[in-house]
Amino acid sequence: MPTTIQSVRLENTTGSHNKFYEIWIDRESGLYTVMFQYGRIGTSGVGGVKESGLTLASAQAVMADLRYSKQNKGYKKVSETANAAPLKKPLLVVKEGKMEVSSEYLPKKKTKAKKKAKKKKGDDKPPPRRSILV
């Protein structure tokens, strides 16, 4: 059963708007999923999965990106919960006027280790054929 790690509820009541947007992170089997739900205030709304199979830092980055995009459209934070341990370094940093995920939390690039095998004389020849008698 999934466990909710972090959640935030945003509402937009400016002008004729009367809507909400909820974002939360669920953990199951060591992987994290970013979920969302939106609609008119007073209804159950419509929900779905934003991204799944993430690390905690990646899920928090997706959640933060979604949250800030909604706040830029006029949504205001109404409530927030956090059950995850706080990060040691800031998750988001501002570079050249844009908000980015700190490089500390990005997946490490995989490097291919080059195996240096010592070649012996005759290694480039195929193995001798063996006959099978029936």
Q: What is the pLDDT of residues 61-114, one digit of tens each?
A: 999 999 999 999 999 999 888 775 555 555 666 677 766 666 665 555 555 554
List, in order, residues 6 or more apart from 10 with CB less than 8 Å away. 20, 21, 22, 23, 67, 70, 71, 75, 76, 77, 78
Question: Tokens 């945003």, residue?
Answer: 10
Q: Is 48 a domain residue?
A: yes
| pTM for the whole structure | 0.61
Q: What is the pLDDT of residue 92?
A: 64
The answer to whether position 121 is within a domain reads no
Tally of domains in the chain = 1
Domain assignment present for 110: no
- Which structural domain range is residue 64 located in? 3-105
Between CA 87 and CA 15 the distance in angstroms is: 37
Say if 16 falls within a structural domain.
Answer: yes
